[in-house]
Chain A
Amino acid sequence: MKSLAQLKSEIEAAVTGARLEILPNPAVPAQSSLRVDPAQASAVARFLRDTPQLQFDFCSNVTGVDWPERTEKVKLKQVVDGAEQEIEETRSSLGFLEVVYHLYSVALKDGPLILRQRTVNRSDDCRVASLTPIWRSCEFQEREVFDLFGVQFTDHPDLRRILMWDGFVDHPMRKDYVEPDDYEYEPTPHDEVLERAQQHYPTQEAST
């Protein structure tokens, strides 16, 4: 398969307005990914599918990933009033939801090419482009990402919940989901299950 840098320049040349970003993968460098903007994702996908030299005709896997906001304290050395001091700076990165597509080429026995789309944030603007019109295999998987993460896919033909029931309100695979408090009875609890059990069953003295 071509290197990601080559692919990136080809795609940027062919699709107007596309700006891609290569995200390296430290564990498996051969599976590094290309990040694409939701606005051009559809056009990029169509290019990848229809170009005879690439022919990525098979979208194997669509995954949702939740990256919540992170605040990290970073120690920096800065020059203040002529003297070098170590200052702690709090950096916060914006949270977002990400959709990862694994593409393969059945005709050329090639792949995987990994595309990523990111939402703007996790709260009010969670829209990305749906790639179902290009690869029909994304249909159910994008519905699942909508169901479990809350990502809205524009141009999806039938976006509704698939695994949870229709009246369900939360998006359970998010990192900040609080599951319902429905298992109190636990014979040998520990950690947070013990805390919850102690709320339901007041502790009594063990009669020896």
Chain B
Amino acid sequence: MNLPAQRAASFQPRYTPNGTEQDGELLEISLGPQHPSTHGVFRMDATLDGEQVVKLKPVCGYLHRNHEKIAEGASYLAAMPYTDRLDYFCSLTSNWAYALTVEKLAGLAVPERAEYLRIITAELTRVQNHACVCGFLLQDMGALGTPLMYAFREREKVLDLFESLTGARMMCNYLRFGGCRNDAPAGWLDAVSQLVASFPQFLDEFEALLTTNEILLARTQGIGPLTPELAINAGLTGPLLRAAGVNYDLRKVDRYGFYDRFEFRIPLGDHGDVYDRYMIRVLEMRESLKILEQALKSIPTGPVMDPKAKLRGFRPKAGEAYGRLESPKGELGFYLISDGGPNPYRYRIRPPSFINLTLLEDMCLGRPLADVVVILGSIDIVMGEVDR
């Protein structure tokens, strides 16, 4: 990497400040909040010169559900179901991020079997999230639903596993401070092994149909490239950062859970464009399957809950903690300030989707409107997380 001084001078973000004078010839349109391809209630105020984007301001807050304020009024455990609804595709990783932070704050230890179950469910979540993101990206590009149907077919298999383990398809609410709520039922691990064994076939089918498809290549290569310096400075994390070429995956950097016991690679991109992000998600699915195979082979027996953990009347001592993990969207962090009482004093979520939107305008300037939709699809936002 170059010296920071050189790097700081080299990246120049392209950005139009709000309120600059605009020529009367430009067309101002509002994409959203109800729109087939804005991934939820998200609005973009775009100013177009013909077909090219001259200015693009994202407007969010249409799903601001006051999660942080509600959690300040509720106990620590009562905030756990709300974390399910944060990133509603990946409820188990959101649960884990919160449990991780509270365990850091209160100094709780997690038994080995619980950590393995957390890793297995997190990697299953990652697999189904990436499959759906690829499906949604292709739907935005005009493949009206067919890749999405295939992806949702696989997602249903994963949701069946979640339902038998946690009781719910989407809002799992499975983790507790100090472990998991319950152990895997008999035969569950075998069912996961079967899914892991059959998944590569779906990935091969998916890739054979899509990866060398000339429409996909024409519409994604060279669209929305990012330099590594700009990506780091703008706080991008997750597949976007790795597509830009930066080797920063929290599973390897922070080594939370028992990820350092497993062998897996981190795919990196060269250009940071939409095609790199799509390919990185496909490759990450394969790496997750590798982690799942290793975890299923070596999962120990034992308790799934720390015997000393107190569920009722839980009052961690005063202080603060910031815990983060690699969710499928990026770095999901929780910042908790405790004043010794049963409710958190300040409960803050570091939302990866929200911060990944920082460079939306930079990537879209000068591009035709059709590319805006593709770029937004490649950022992979979930409005529950953007607005909280």
Contacts and interface: CB of A to CB of B under 8 A. Distances in A.
Interface stretch (B136-144, B156-164, B231-239, B256-264): B231-239
Interface in B1-38: 1, 3-5, 7-8, 13, 15, 17-18
Contact of B61 (A28, A107, A164): A164
B338 interface: yes
B219 interface: no
A9 interface: no
Contact of B346 (A25, A65, A138, A172): A65
Interface of B: 1, 3-5, 7-8, 13, 15, 17-18, 60-61, 64, 66, 68-69, 104-107, 230, 232-236, 246, 248, 253, 316-322, 324, 331, 333, 335, 337-338, 345-346, 348, 350, 354-355, 357-359, 387
A136 B60 CA distance: 18
B61 A163 contact: yes
A45 to B, nearest CB: 12
**Could you say which of B1, B105, B335, B350 has the most chain A C-beta atoms within 10 Å of its C-beta?**
B335
Question: Is chain B's binding surface mostly helix, strand, loop or mixed?
Answer: mixed
Contact of B60 (A26, A65, A162, A173): A162
11 contacts: A25-B320, A27-B320, A50-B5, A50-B8, A60-B324, A63-B346, A107-B1, A107-B4, A135-B235, A136-B13, A141-B354
A28 B346 contact: no
A27 B387 contact: no
Interface in A132-166: 135-141, 157-158, 160-165
A50 B229 CA distance: 13
A54 to B, nearest CB: 9
Contacts of B68: 173
A137 B322 contact: no
Interface in A32-47: none
Interface of A: 25-28, 31, 49-52, 55, 57-61, 63, 65-66, 100, 102, 106-107, 109, 112, 114, 135-141, 157-158, 160-165, 172-173
B319 A49 contact: no
Contacts of A107: 1, 4
**Could you say which of A60, A114, A158 has the most chain B C-beta atoms within 10 Å of its C-beta?**
A60
B18 A60 contact: no
Nearest to A56: B4
A27 B61 contact: no
A137 B335 contact: no
Nearest to B57: A158
Contacts of B1: 107
Given A65-B337, A112-B322, A173-B69, A49 B4 contact: yes
Contact of A137 (B104, B233, B338, B346): B233
A66 B337 CA distance: 11
B335 A61 contact: yes
Contact of B4 (A50, A65, A114, A138): A50
A165 B4 contact: no
Nearest to A139: B358
Contact of A162 (B61, B253, B331): B61
Contacts of A57: 4, 7, 232-233
A146 B337 CA distance: 20
Given A28-B104, A158-B17, A173-B68, 6 more contacts: A27-B338, A57-B232, A61-B322, A66-B346, A141-B354, A163-B64
Contact of A63 (B4, B8, B348, B387): B348
